[in-house]
Amino acid sequence: MEKRLIKKNTLTGIAGKMADEFKVWAPVKQEENVIFSPLEKNEQPFFAYLNSKNAPKQIFFPHTETLMKYTSTPKGMVFAAEENKADKTVLFGVRPCDAHSFALLDMLFDQEKYKDQYYINKRNNTTVITLACVEPPYATCFCTSVDGEPVDDKGADILITDIGDNYLVEFVTPKGEKLANYFGETKADAAAETKKKEIAEKAKQAIKSKIPAHEIKPILDVNFENPIWATIHGKCLACGTCTWMCPTCHCFDISDEVKGNDGVRIRSWDSCMFPLFTKETSGHNPRTSQKERWRQRVMHKFKYYVDNFNAIACVGCGRCVMSCPVNLDIRKVVEDIAKIK
């Protein structure tokens, strides 16, 4: 597909122009955090960022989403489906690991057995523009251990790579190509592509944090009852920050909020780290302690997802590593599991 070159100072302008036609989500600076947020009129995106504090998954899978509404009338309940409308959206400047997470979430929300229209609608209406990591942003990045790369187009419709003097813009999907007119006229030459390959290789080598993510799958297959599970969770606060920040965590809760005669059914994020997550109506909780909850977190990412979709449900962004308030480091957990004989 097509490749073009753009000047390095044009990115903000392009995002601004797109904002006339689309809802543009981009990284913005909010006090000390960089987060993804829809650009307001004349708001400047912050492209000099490392990665965003929160994962951009909320664009397709919001923290709280109305599924349907109902009203109690003298003649009985009247139900109304939520409109489920999705604006034409551009997600501008996600990192390759986060774009990779969309490919992983698609496997779940858009599969043969089940199609989640709420997710799919937003996903279909959104063009994902990835900004490659020519230098890995953090020492905690470990994308190369989980099938990712710092310069990678997985999950992207357009990939932008800084190749020194210019940005190389690659249109990865037909959806991406539709936005080609925003990116000038200059066609990329062979030299630009060679340059990009070199940069991609260098960035890959620069990832120093490595975990045996694939290696632990056969170990997890046979070690559901291993004593190691009693040694991981002790300091865990069960705060769920790791799952809130994670681009691939996708568990949710469905509840009704009722005011007077009107009710809404909402879906909101939930977390395997919360005791309430598995508590049953009877009061019984099959996962009795944080031990079982942490086992679930590891199993889901490195075994169940592999069993179900042949993919690891972690993209190596390192957010959970950096955000865990008590430094419960999933990299160390995986390493320790790899040592089980």
Least distance between ligand SF4 and beta carbon 258 (Å)? 24
Least distance between ligand SF4 and beta carbon 315 (Å)? 4
Can you tell me which of 332, 338, 339, 340 binds other proteins, judged by CB under 8 A? 332
Can you tell me which of 120, 228, 239, 251 binds other proteins, judged by CB under 8 A? 239
Question: Residue 266 forms beta bridges with which residues?
Answer: 66, 255
Interacting span for other proteins (CB under 8 A) from 123-131, 189-197, 306-314, 316-324: 316-324
| Interface positions with ligand SF4 (CB under 6 A) | 236-242, 245-248, 273, 301, 314-320, 324-326, 328, 330
Residue 125: both structure tokens together: 């209406």
Map residue 303 onto helix, strand or coil.
Answer: helix
If you count them, how many residues does the chain have? 341
Least distance between ligand SF4 and beta carbon 47 (Å)? 21
Residue 152 backbone dihedrals phi, psi, to 5 degrees: -155, 145
Residue 240 makes contact with other proteins by CB under 8 A: yes
Residue 317 makes contact with other proteins by CB under 8 A: no
Residue 280 makes contact with other proteins by CB under 8 A: no
Residue 40 makes contact with other proteins by CB under 8 A: no
Can you tell me which of 188, 321, 334, 337 binds other proteins, judged by CB under 8 A? 321
Helix H segments across 89-163? 96-109, 117-124
Least distance between ligand SF4 and beta carbon 303 (Å)? 14
Sequence-ordered list of residues with C-beta below 8 angstroms from that of 169, at least 6 positions apart, any chain = 3, 4, 5, 6, 158, 159, 160, 183, 188
What's the rounded Cα separation, in Å, for the pair 97 and 138? Answer: 12
Residue 194 makes contact with other proteins by CB under 8 A: no
> C-alpha distances in angstroms, 130 versus 45, 98, 134, 246, 289?
14, 9, 12, 18, 39
Closer residue to ligand SF4 in complex, CB, 4/319: 319
Residue 156 makes contact with other proteins by CB under 8 A: no
Residue 234 makes contact with other proteins by CB under 8 A: yes
Closer residue to other proteins in complex, CB, 4/122: 122
What's the rounded Cα separation, in Å, for the pair 65 and 76? Answer: 25
Q: Which residues of 306-333 are buried (b: 16+ CB within 10 A; e: fewer)?
A: beeeebbbbbbbbbbbeebeeebbbbeb
Residue 121: both structure tokens together: 């609608």
Can you tell me which of 245, 272, 299, 312 binds other proteins, judged by CB under 8 A? 245
Closer residue to other proteins in complex, CB, 1/139: 139
Residue 244 makes contact with other proteins by CB under 8 A: yes
Interacting span for other proteins (CB under 8 A) from 98-106, 146-154, 167-175, 320-328: 320-328
Closer residue to ligand SF4 in complex, CB, 22/229: 229
What's the rounded Cα separation, in Å, for the pair 199 and 134? Answer: 6
Least distance between other proteins and beta carbon 331 (Å)? 7
What's the rounded Cα separation, in Å, for the pair 258 and 333? Answer: 42
Return the residues of window 110-149 that contact other proteins according to CB under 8 A.
Answer: 137-140
> C-alpha distances in angstroms, 170 versus 98, 151, 174, 205, 221?
18, 12, 11, 22, 40
Binding site for other proteins (CB under 8 A): 30-33, 50, 53-54, 62-64, 137-140, 234-235, 237-241, 244-245, 253, 255, 257, 266, 268, 276, 289, 321-323, 325-329, 331-332
